[in-house]
A = this chain, B = another copy of it.
């Protein structure tokens, strides 16, 4: 009997560089080795108590479907948030609640591109853009940015050179996962001008909006939304802002009515996002400013520990990350994927090891990022210092092989 075959497009969906080594981490743990997880942006910061208390005081039963656009109270909380950060023009009907920022990425790519059409992104970029491009039949056209210039944008002509008939959008992550780059006002205005001139969407993933260090200024796409209502698409998420990764809540914000109507039809197909999660998240209006200032201070301190620690390891190169809680680091290795797997499979230092993400999966160009890893500084300073020491020792041992 002939074997029934899966579609070839399923084979094209890449494994996540952040998660594909998880089985090796699981094996290490089974052997009693402690693994410091710097591979994934899953913060150890507490979810605000006012949100977790929603669970403790739960009385609603049954746990029923919600509205496809998002629960009305949660939508109001989100509009309140955008108003608070200075964008009072954002109303509930400009917001679509998504099941994680992930769904927002997928819906946006589907909405702006026909199959085979293109989106420009600055590599290294968030690895899952590749997953969603594959799922939606979209081609990501990479424009290279470099560690030496802090992964800031290249000159305008280098970007415009990549724009062709099939280009429909520029996709950015600002502050950037995986580079930690925060785009300047000039960079943002350049991108807006390019999009206006070439009739493109500008899709901005601003999940790390609150994570900008050293008093740097951050420029949201929201500043341009009223002027270019058809072109600007904001992707957002509560995962990092409120340490709520497991709640799977994100949003698309846009004034483009055709896009929002279409996105709602997609949302109707999947019925609704989590009922309990939204009930928790609607309490964001009650999270005190002191929560964010403490979190911000903690991450800036972690960033400093990580940057200084890694800089002191021979052969390691990185620029100081400006925002988010990631950095792309050059290591003195030829094949970082092999090194990352070796860390989990073969190495331990005093019965401990580190998991980091090989950077190749964050590039669109094959062969790039082979000597780089992405590090998420989502552990407390004590653990972070230990993880850096393990990396220091591991690199010596690995290169002695």
Q: Which chain A residues have a beta carbon within 8 Å of chain B's beta carbons? A: 1-11, 13-16, 18-20, 22, 40, 42-47, 51-52, 55-58, 61-68, 99-100, 102-103, 106, 110-115, 117, 128, 131-132, 135, 137, 168, 195-196, 199-201, 230-231, 243-248, 256, 258-259, 262-263, 265-266, 268-277, 280
How many identical chains are in the complex?
A: 2
A271 lies within 8 A of B102 (CB):
yes
B61 lies within 8 A of A46 (CB):
yes
Give the distance in Å from the alpha carbon of A57 to the alpha carbon of B273 in the complex: 23
With contact pairs A45-B62, A47-B63, A110-B9 given, residues A248 and B269 touching in the complex (Cβ less than 8 Å): no
- Chain B residues near A266 (CB-CB < 8 A): 10, 13, 131, 135
Give the distance in Å from the alpha carbon of A280 to the alpha carbon of B18 in the complex: 27
Give the distance in Å from the alpha carbon of A240 to the alpha carbon of B346 in the complex: 46
With contact pairs A245-B62, A274-B274, A275-B246 given, residues A269 and B13 touching in the complex (Cβ less than 8 Å): yes
Give the shortest distance, in Å, between A229 (CB) and chain B (any CB).
Answer: 9
What are 22 pairs between A and B in contact, CB < 8 Å?
A: A4-B200, A4-B256, A6-B258, A7-B113, A8-B114, A10-B265, A13-B266, A14-B265, A16-B68, A18-B268, A22-B68, A43-B64, A46-B61, A46-B62, A55-B276, A62-B245, A62-B246, A66-B246, A99-B248, A100-B271, A247-B274, A274-B276
A247 lies within 8 A of B20 (CB):
no
A63 lies within 8 A of B247 (CB):
yes
Could you tell me the dominant secondary structure of chain A's interface residues? loop
With contact pairs A4-B201, A52-B61 given, residues A10 and B111 touching in the complex (Cβ less than 8 Å): yes
Residue of B nearest to A263 (CB): B10
Give the shortest distance, in Å, between A138 (CB) and chain B (any CB).
Answer: 10
- Chain B residues near A22 (CB-CB < 8 A): 67-68
- Chain B residues near A230 (CB-CB < 8 A): 3-4
With contact pairs A56-B55, A269-B128 given, residues A111 and B6 touching in the complex (Cβ less than 8 Å): yes
B62 lies within 8 A of A44 (CB):
yes
Give the distance in Å from the alpha carbon of A113 to the alpha carbon of B4 in the complex: 11
A43 lies within 8 A of B67 (CB):
no
